[in-house]
Amino acid sequence: MQIGKHFFIAAVFTGMVAGGIFGAITGQEYVLISTLAALFMKSLKMMVIPIVVASIITGISSLGDIRKLKKIGLLTITYYIATTLLAVILGLILVNFIEPGTMAATGTDGETFKKSYSISSVILAMVPENIFKAMASGDILPVIVFSIFFGAALTTVGKKGEALLDIFDGIFHVSIKIIKVIILFAPLGVFALVAERIGRAGGWDVFSAELGSLGLYIVTVLAGLFLHAFITLPIILVVLGRIKPFLFVKQMVEALTMAFSTASSSATLPVTLKCLNNTPEIKKSVSSFVLPLGATVNMDGTALYEAVAAIFIAQAYGIELSLSQQAIVAVTATLAAIGAAGIPEAGLVTMIIVLESVGLPAEGIGLILAVDWFLDRCRTTVNVWGDGVGVAVLSNITDHTKLP
């Protein structure tokens, strides 16, 4: 299985380089290449609605009757959303300061994708007049909000909702299977996407700029993940969890290693639970509830990555996003991370949500797909580390707070 993974990673990277060389040599667009690029992107977009809706509804429904969660449930969700927003804001600060995408900016596509937004319009857009119309038009933000409320309501109807939950669970697993098949064609898709972009822009100079920009993008993402994992979360752990970070890392090292090797927070969940249950400061009654919830909704690393990637793509396409548009990116990245399945490469699908929320070209994913395999492992490790810190914090808070 490992040989297969390594072969796939090499194939994707080869596809990117080959596409860049082909586009640089020809310096023009070809109908076949453009068709392949569009087909790959349409295939990914096709799965956005089913995977997001099914993932959010089944994830929330798995918590049981939401009315019984009371204060511990509200505290957990509030904490996870707060830390995810902190990660997103950190990522936005870094990507705006470093500007990795400007090296590859062509300035030719910006006007095509620009839209005007305001915070009030986004708030109003979160509640759709017609949910089916929102799904059909790819208006993702209200779909996410609807799915959250639908999943929460489904937990309150008892046996009457079990059949419906089984349907959404089936949709989720079938969607995962389809996405895995689509990802198998990623080497060809990356080749077409990169070849089309560089062929349209023309020349070796553009290709070399793309590679240099991609390297700086990796540095930006890793810097954000490092700062969040080794500064933001440890400070929270000390202040709110009353645990020394170094000792806690030693307890979590097995789970963190598993997260990096599998790139799946869901697959790592049993190991994470074992590590936390062996930590004296952690209450099992808290970890058994908070950790599964965290594996569903707490994706600090994924949200940070998606925010950085969105701004990087905007910079590469010569699109300047206003402060309000970047606020929309922050909110959407946080909500999209909630809807991301805890499996390898799931962030690529929800990445489309973030891009389209501010009118950025989804084709820009082709710029980052070749290195996503590595960044996926890094952000998953941060996700699992954030889950562990959340359990420690909430375990300490419940020690000092009377909760019904």
What residue type is assigned to position 362 of the chain?
Answer: A
Model pLDDT, residue 232: 95
Residues 231-253 as b or e (16 or more Cβ within 10 Å = b):
ebbbebbeebbebebeebbebbe
Model pLDDT, residue 119: 58
- Cα–Cα distance between 373 and 109 in angstroms, integer? 27
Judge: domain 2-400, CATH 1.10.3860: yes
Model pLDDT, residue 82: 92
- CA nearest 311: which of 258, 371, 255, 358? 358
Report, in angstroms and rounded to the nearest whole number, the Rg of the chain calculated over CA atoms.
21
The DSSP 8-state label assigned to residue 321 in this structure reads P
The DSSP 8-state label assigned to residue 1 in this structure reads -
Contact at 8 Å (CB) between 287 and 277?
yes
Model pLDDT, residue 376: 84
- Cα–Cα distance between 155 and 387 in angstroms, integer? 23
SS3 129: coil
pLDDT in tens, 11-57: 777 777 787 777 777 766 677 777 888 888 788 778 778 877 887 78
- CA nearest 52: which of 370, 389, 347, 326? 347
Model pLDDT, residue 403: 47
Listed as ranges, residues in the chain with pLDDT below 50 are 1-3, 107-116, 403-404
Domains of the chain, residue spans: 2-400
